[in-house]
Each structure stands twice: as structure tokens, then as C-alpha cells.
Amino acid sequence: MYKYLISLRFNPVQLTWVAALFFTSVGNVALWQTLWSNVEVNSLHSLLFLISLPVFFFCLFNLLLTPILILPYVRKPLLALLVIISASCSYFMLYYNVLIDRSMIQNVFETNQAELISYFSIPLLLTIIVLGVLPAVVMVFLPAQKTGRPLQTVLWWLGNVLVTFAVLAVVTMAFYKDYASLLRNNLQIKDQVLPFNVVRNTNGYLKRYLKRTKSQVLRIVAADATRPAAAAGERPKLVIVVVGETARAQNFALNGYPRATNPSLSPREGIISFKHVSSCGTATAISLPCMFSRMTRSQYDEVRAATEENLLDILQRTGINLLWRNNNNGGCKGMCARVPSEDMPTLNIVEHCVNKDGTCYDNVLLHQLNARIDARQGDMLIVLHQLGSHGPTYFERYPEHDKAFSPTCDSNQIQKCTNDALTNTYDNTLVYTDRMLGKTIDVLQRYSDRRDVAMIYVSDHGESLGERGMYLHGTPYIIAPKEQTQVPMVMWFSPTFAQHAHLNLACLRKNADNKDYSHDNLYHSLLGLFDVHSTVYQSDLDVFAPCREPIAVASPTAIPEKTMESGTLKTL
């Protein structure tokens, strides 16, 4: 048998068949899990439809692989590369139930070494070897026929394509309604078909990336933006915006979660927690630029966001002092490109940066922050970008002495942990975030005798912890579960801030409990908070607009005060 196999010689078309057979079977295990679970066999027709699926996908792979395998010299290296990449994707699709869409490809390209290391495990290595390296080696070393006459080669390729098209057409027409229903009701399938989900979405990402990075003049936004001159004796504003990472609203005690995940914020006076807030995306690469952009989620375009001024540019141009402090693996996604910024992990502050992967605990964001504040006069906005609850190594996001719940899942193979252990570990990250937010308020209160101070916290997206077999985040928004799209948003204002900004905090707290908000609100709310006047400002997206009390103006004719028009809040 061995001698027979060795004596075989495969022409390029037959190599295509081998590759198509591989991707129709073990090369797409995650895809078949979805297909088997969504095809109910209750009749002869449904049984025949189930049998047609391997035929359909074999023909599809045969056609799609043909342009690659028709190329001499590079066909085998390209095929090996696709097989190994597909094996890597299979691991994350099988173990974490993630989809390989364009945002996930973007996450891969924009991640750093520390985040990549956090995913490494023996099962990942074994999956790459068994489903990737070994099949790739077999395909590369399959003995090939010597190149025949050109006409004979062309006839082979032409015959293969025509016959495959014919079989595919027969299968599709025979079960058209079944295929249409399957694809319409399972939109995720297109992002599960390896390796073409990777090829298609990588191509899409690179095209968008080239458009973003192409040399061009930055588009000015809100050129008319102005702020009133400070009155004599007016206190400057100091606002800290904490951008959370991977925190989901349902696990915040402030939102009704039964566990004490907010031990620092819960007893404080003046804390306002917004109960119904939707994220712009399910990954930082989308949510972060979106929340600092004038575009709403429905309008968001990453190329446009990267080539026009963001909220920070506008605020800085109106005279507000800006500072961005980063502790997130993915960086600021271009949001801090034109404002003063500090990348805290590069400072290697010993008491905060003790993890082997080079990451730091989020308290590093407060390191010598008072010195940065003291060095600036006038109104100031500081953005603290957390590492937060980023997985899968949740246990590395907080020091051991800050552990509140046990037992914990001290592994990056979170799918193997019990639900209790995984939840405990994730909740510990929220407790650590809560304490960091409490310390942020403490920093602000030291300046409350000479500045109007406030803190706004909002997470970029949520996280799945095994619900419906899903882990992590990055699921396409159209099918993403609420665990990934509902995020916490918490605010705190000093009494003098609320007084001088004419904010009715009781009104704000009532709205926070009952109304729907989203990342769309952040841009216009901060413009309003700093009293920026511009045509781009939309009061109906300003969280504070309905709760601003009218300013009493002395008048000799005692004209009744006008009540400020309140906007209609954006609801997703």
C-alpha cells in the first residue's frame, strides 16, 4: 500500500481536489458544528439536503482554490500557508466560538506581543500541528506529475471548472430554498468558512488600511468651534474620562448585580450609574474611534474616522489642555495622535508592571498624575485608557491581594474552567477597576477647592463568559449577544462642578435609570460639558442637555425665564 501511494503522481487539478477535500472535512470542523446543529433531519428531503452539504462545499472549495493552485511554483507554499492559518483560526473558533470577520482580522493586525502571548497554550500549539502543519507537509510533499502539454493542462483545468459548476448548479437548484433559509437564518456561516473568511476579510482590512494611511490632509471638523471666555474668578474644569476595557454592564453591582463588584463606588455620594448603555462595536478597534467620532454607530466608517478630526482635536483647538494616558495593549487607535500622550507600560514602573507579558495593572494610570495636572493651567481633560478586564488571562488583570472572589480561573484556557471560577475571575477584574475608579475620584477631590472636577467612566465593549458557548468578544454586531454590547457608564461630579455647570443631578440620575444611551452620546456630551459652541454639536445626543437648569438673568422688565429646550435622547 505504501509503495502504491509513493508511486502516485498528482497533477495540479488533483491537488486541488485533495485540498478541497481537506477543507470540506477536518479543515472546517467549526463550520460543520454549526451546520449539523442547524439542519434538522425529519424527512427524506431534509436527509438529502444534509447529504448535499459536503457535495456543495467540496464544489465551492474546488472552484475557489483553483485560481491559487493554477499558479506554478507557488501553489504548494500558498496552500501550506492557508492550511496553517486556518488551523490557528480553527482553535479560536472551536474553543472560544469566535467568528473570523473583518473586525477580528483588524484585531490580529493591531495587537501587540503581550496580547498574543496571553493566548498561547499547549492546545493551541497541538491544534496548529495536527490541523495545520501535518496536513500542510503532506500536501507539499505529494508527488507531482511532470508538466504535460499546455493544451492537455488547459483541458484539465477547463473540464474541472465546468463539471464543478454543473454539479454545484444542480445541487443549488435542487435545494435552493433550504440553502437560502440556512444562510439567511445563520449569518455567521460566511465568517466560518475557512480559509476564505480569512482571505476575504484580510483583503477587506488591507484595502481599508491603505485608504486610512494614504497621505492626505486631515479633514477639519468643527472649524467654527468656540468657547466663552472665562469670567473673572471662574474656576477651571478638570474632567477625567476613564475608557474601560471589556467590562459588561450586567456584572456591575451599581446596575443591580447581586455580587459586590463595586465596593468602592457603591457607598460614595454622587455616583450616577447609567443602566442602559450600548457600545458602538464589540471590539476596541471599532468602539474606541467611534466613541470619539462625530459619527453614530449606524454611520460609522473607519476610514472617515481615521482621516478627520476627532473630539480631542476639537477640544484642544478651543484651548482645553489634553492628556491621554494609555495602559491598553491595542493603543489609542489613533485617537491620541495629535494630543499629548503617555504609554504607561513603556515606563516600566516596578510596583505596577510585574506581569511577565509586559502588561501593567491599571493603577499605573494614576502614577504621578497629580504632577501632570499641576503642570497645566485652565480647563483640562484627561483620558485614562485601561487594560481593564481584557481576556483570556483575566487573572493577570489584578494583584493577588485584590482578589475578592475564589476559586479563580488562573489559565488562558477559560473554556476549561468551571463557570463559577471563570465568573469569579472576571468579577475580580471589575472589583479592581472599581477600586481604581475610586482612587481616581480621590485624586480629583484633592483639587476640588480650586477646580470643578468630574469623572466619566465608560467601557468600550462587553464580554462573553460562556453564555451560549461564546467566549471573549468581537462577534459581528448584528448577531452579538447583549453581554458584548451592553456596557457600564458611571459618572461623578463635585458639588461645585454641578452648580457651576447648572446640572440637575437628580434629573440626570433619573434619566440614567430609565433611558437608553450609547457611545453616540459621549462626543456631544463632552462638547456640552465644556460649553463648546459649534454646528456639529447636537443637543439631542448630549446626555446633560435635558438636565441643565436655565440660567437666571437679571432683567429690569422681569421677563419670565425661558426653559431650555431638551433634546430627544438617542436610542438604539
User: 405: domain CATH number?
Assistant: 3.40.720.10
Q: Are residues 73 and 137 in the same domain?
A: yes
Region 71-100 average pLDDT: 89
- Over the stretch 256-280, which tens digit does the pLDDT of each residue have? 999 999 999 999 999 999 999 999 9
Q: At which of 210, 228, 263 does a domain end?
A: 210
Sorting pLDDT into bands at 50, 70 and 90, what band is 357?
low
pLDDT of residue 559: 40
Task: Tell me the pairing of strands 471-472 and 464-465.
Answer: antiparallel
Region 407-431 average pLDDT: 95
Q: Are residues 317 and 434 in the same domain?
A: yes
pLDDT of residue 72: 78
Q: Are residues 363 and 267 in the same domain?
A: yes
Q: Are residues 191 and 315 in the same domain?
A: no
**Helix spans in 334-474 (H):** 369-374, 419-445
Q: Are residues 196 and 52 in the same domain?
A: yes
Sorting pLDDT into bands at 50, 70 and 90, what band is 429?
very high
Region 343-371 average pLDDT: 89
The yes-or-no verdict on residue 149 having pLDDT over 80 is no
Sorting pLDDT into bands at 50, 70 and 90, what band is 557?
very low
Which three cell numbers, joined as nine digits, stand for 97? 466560538
Region 519-548 average pLDDT: 96
103 lies in a domain? yes
Q: Alpha-carbon distance 31 to 61, whole Å?
A: 13
Q: Are residues 183 and 274 in the same domain?
A: no
The yes-or-no verdict on residue 64 having pLDDT over 50 is yes
Q: Alpha-carbon distance 164 to 59, whole Å?
A: 6
pLDDT of residue 570: 36
Sorting pLDDT into bands at 50, 70 and 90, what band is 164?
very high
The yes-or-no verdict on residue 329 having pLDDT over 60 is yes
pTM comes to: 0.86
92 lies in a domain? yes
**Half-sphere exposure for 162 (CA within 13 Å, toward CB):** 6
Region 322-337 average pLDDT: 93
- Over the stretch 452-484, which tens digit does the pLDDT of each residue have? 999 999 999 999 999 988 999 999 898 899 999
The yes-or-no verdict on residue 345 having pLDDT over 70 is yes
**Half-sphere exposure for 105 (CA within 13 Å, toward CB):** 21
Region 165-192 average pLDDT: 87
Q: Are residues 193 and 338 in the same domain?
A: no
pLDDT of residue 356: 66
Q: Which residues of 551-570 are buried (b: 16+ CB within 10 A; e: fewer)?
A: eeeeeeeeeeeeeeeebebb
557 lies in a domain? no
Q: How many domains does the chain have?
A: 2
552 lies in a domain? no
Q: Are residues 274 and 419 in the same domain?
A: yes
Q: Are residues 392 and 261 in the same domain?
A: yes
Sequential DSSP letters for 491-539: EEE-HHHHHHTTB-HHHHHHHHHHS-EETHHHHHHHHHHTT-B-TT--G
Q: Are residues 313 and 351 in the same domain?
A: yes
232 lies in a domain? no
222 lies in a domain? no
Q: Are residues 186 and 120 in the same domain?
A: yes
Beta bridge partners of 517: 277
Region 359-365 average pLDDT: 94
190 lies in a domain? yes
pLDDT of residue 558: 42
Q: What's the mean pLDDT when you consider all of the chain?
A: 89
Q: Domain containing 54: what range?
A: 2-210
223 lies in a domain? no
The yes-or-no verdict on residue 569 having pLDDT over 50 is no
Region 521-544 average pLDDT: 97
Q: Are residues 295 and 332 in the same domain?
A: yes
